[in-house]
């Protein structure tokens, strides 16, 4: 189970599979339309709805047999840097045998690190009569052997059919032929306020049932570009990773994957991969062993208030293209930096994260209609999606950058990029920066290169100064700069004071 330390931060601490790992959500490709059936559980009733249901026993009896404990033998190689006390020895060195016997814990690996063996515990649930099991990727990551234990205590061998790190989902298959109890996915996500029941293997104790309600939907906890979690208050703990969350009909509505906790135990805030994501990803893992996602090849960033002002936009909605990748679908279709994507297939796009999820949720080679704004005019273009490379994700840059030399009020000095070694040939580089100045507060750093100001290419500090002055004269509150940083290219709106 992934634990988010208190206070919540945008990055998770990576632990063993028992504690969890980063869960990155994404929708993907053409998915197998597999339908899973299960015994019907009796719906919960209550004579007093405000008091909640009288008992969850009927639902638990119907689903408990399909929930399993997952035990993983794992082996992970660590780098030399993770073991600073281990000397680097050449193969055959006389000291190698000594450190193999008395050195740091783990199998000695003289060629770049150590092999660490361990055991991880998690949860999972059976979704088909022949023994397919859903769990978290971080539970079975680095697995050398997987065993699942049924509620009656029977231990069975299982194999990993496929994993998807971006959604933290994995599909297993019991290798022993048989007929197994199973549950099915719900047709839709629950509403906020609906009762839910979590079943899993917390702290390795075996089948444990907890209940609560859906506290929120669409949670972004900073784990990746596709975050769209259900938040539940049913207590889940370490070892619940990969376990199911059920609705009152005994249907799976989520997969437990993360918790917010200052101590590692439940404080009533858990996060589930929602059913619509789990169903699609699991279907593709069963069919292909991996997941493919749509891709257009752009770096995108939010439309801030300043950027909206500088572009003359009426709202701050949409995703601003900071850079298009050469030969990518977006570039081939004519999209370019400075365009603001506002819709996909007629559906409004609120922000970069929604654009990333939407595009990733459409299969490669499909044609989509992209609505965008350029120079104040709304346009559309049809794009044939490519396939998201395995080592890439849609870039969600939350950045900043900019500044001219003679405008000391911004706290920065500029120089032609060609005059500074390593800055490249294009644009102007920030050669000096006041850490307390406006530019620094915007996120600009020494070494950032301004490529464009107000949509025009700049080659000297005077070009940037003129763009700022023109924006002020024209009553603009900001000038939009396109800046290249060590993390990529992005836009930043630099505020200006209109001339009297």
Which residues are known catalytic residues? 138, 168, 241
Q: Record the tokens describing residue 405, joined without a space.
A: 């030399």
Cβ atoms of 40 and 62 within 8 Å: the answer is yes
CA 307, CA 174: separation in Å to the nearest integer? 53
Cβ atoms of 3 and 239 within 8 Å: the answer is no
CA 207, CA 8: separation in Å to the nearest integer? 29
Q: Record the tokens describing residue 350, joined without a space.
A: 């609120």
**Tally of CB atoms within 10 A around 92:** 8
List all residues 6 or more positions away from 134 whose beta carbon is below 8 Å from its beta carbon. Answer: 124, 125, 127, 169, 170, 171, 172, 242, 244, 255, 278, 282
Q: Record the tokens describing residue 360, joined without a space.
A: 């990733």
Task: Give residue for tokens 């249901």.
Answer: 53
In this structure, are strands 395-396 and 298-302 parallel, antiparallel, or unpaired? parallel
In this structure, are strands 294-295 and 298-302 parallel, antiparallel, or unpaired? unpaired
**Tally of CB atoms within 10 A around 111:** 9
Q: Record the tokens describing residue 373, joined without a space.
A: 């704004």
Cβ atoms of 58 and 173 within 8 Å: the answer is no
Question: Which DSSP string do the residues of 189-252 spell out, in sequence order?
Answer: PPPTT-EEEEEE-GGG--SEEEEEEEEEEEE--SSSTT--EEEE-S---TT-TT-EEE-TTS-E
Q: How far is CA 233 from CA 101, 124, 246, 324, 391, in A?
A: 48, 20, 13, 41, 34
Distance of CA 404 to the CA centre of its chain: 36
Question: Which DSSP string do the residues of 181-204 spell out, in sequence order?
Answer: ----B-SSPPPTT-EEEEEE-GGG
* DSSP classification of residue 122: E
Longest dimension (CA), the chain: 82
């Amino acid at each position: 189970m992934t634990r988010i330390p208190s206070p919540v931060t945008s990055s998770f601490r990576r632990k063993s599979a028992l504690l969890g790992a980063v869960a990155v959500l994404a929708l993907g490709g053409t998915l197998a339309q597999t339908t899973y059936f299960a015994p019907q559980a009796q719906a919960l009733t209550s004579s007093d709805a405000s008091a909640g249901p009288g008992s969850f026993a009927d639902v638990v009896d119907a689903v408990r047999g399909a929930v399993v404990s997952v035990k993983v033998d794992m082996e992970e190689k660590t780098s030399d840097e993770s073991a600073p006390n281990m000397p680097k020895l050449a193969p055959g060195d006389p000291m190698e045998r000594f450190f193999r016997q008395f050195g740091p814990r783990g199998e000695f690996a003289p060629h770049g690190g150590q092999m660490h063996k361990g055991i991880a515990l998690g949860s999972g649930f059976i979704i088909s009569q022949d023994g397919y099991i859903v769990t978290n990727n971080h539970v079975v990551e680095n697995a050398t052997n997987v065993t699942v234990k049924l509620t009656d205590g029977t231990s069975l061998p299982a194999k990993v059919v496929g994993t998807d790190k971006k959604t933290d989902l994995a599909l297993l298959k019991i290798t022993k032929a048989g007929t197994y109890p199973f549950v099915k996915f719900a047709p839709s996500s629950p509403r906020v306020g609906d009762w839910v029941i979590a079943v899993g293997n917390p702290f390795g104790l075996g089948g444990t049932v907890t209940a609560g309600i859906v506290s929120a939907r669409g949670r972004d906890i900073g784990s990746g570009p596709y975050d769209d979690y259900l938040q539940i208050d049913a207590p889940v703990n370490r070892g619940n990773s990969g376990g199911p969350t059920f609705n009152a009909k005994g249907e799976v509505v989520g997969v437990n994957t993360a918790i917010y906790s200052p101590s590692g135990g439940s404080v009533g805030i858990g996060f589930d991969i929602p059913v619509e994501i789990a169903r699609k990803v699991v279907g593709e893992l069963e069919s292909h062993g991996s997941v493919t996602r749509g891709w257009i090849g752009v770096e995108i960033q939010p439309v801030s208030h300043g950027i909206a002002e500088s572009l003359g936009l009426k709202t701050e909605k949409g995703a601003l293209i900071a850079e298009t990748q050469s030969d990518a679908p977006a570039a081939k279709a004519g999209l370019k930096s400075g365009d603001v994507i506002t819709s996909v297939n007629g559906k409004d796009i609120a922000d970069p994260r929604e654009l990333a999820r939407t595009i990733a949720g459409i299969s490669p080679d499909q044609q989509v209609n992209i609505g965008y704004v350029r120079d104040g005019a709304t346009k559309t273009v049809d794009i044939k999606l490519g396939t998201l490379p395995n080592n890439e994700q849609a870039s969600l840059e939350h950045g900043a950058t900019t500044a001219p030399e003679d405008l000391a009020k911004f706290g920065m000095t500029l120089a032609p990029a060609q005059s500074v070694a390593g800055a490249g040939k294009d644009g102007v580089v920030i050669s000096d920066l006041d850490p307390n100045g406006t530019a620094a507060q915007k996120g600009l750093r020494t070494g950032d290169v301004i490529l464009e100001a107000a949509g025009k290419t700049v080659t000297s500090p005077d070009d940037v100064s003129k763009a700022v002055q023109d924006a002020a004269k024209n009553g603009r509150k900001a000038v939009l700069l396109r800046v290249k940083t060590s993390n990529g290219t992005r836009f930043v709106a630099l505020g200006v004071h209109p001339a009297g």
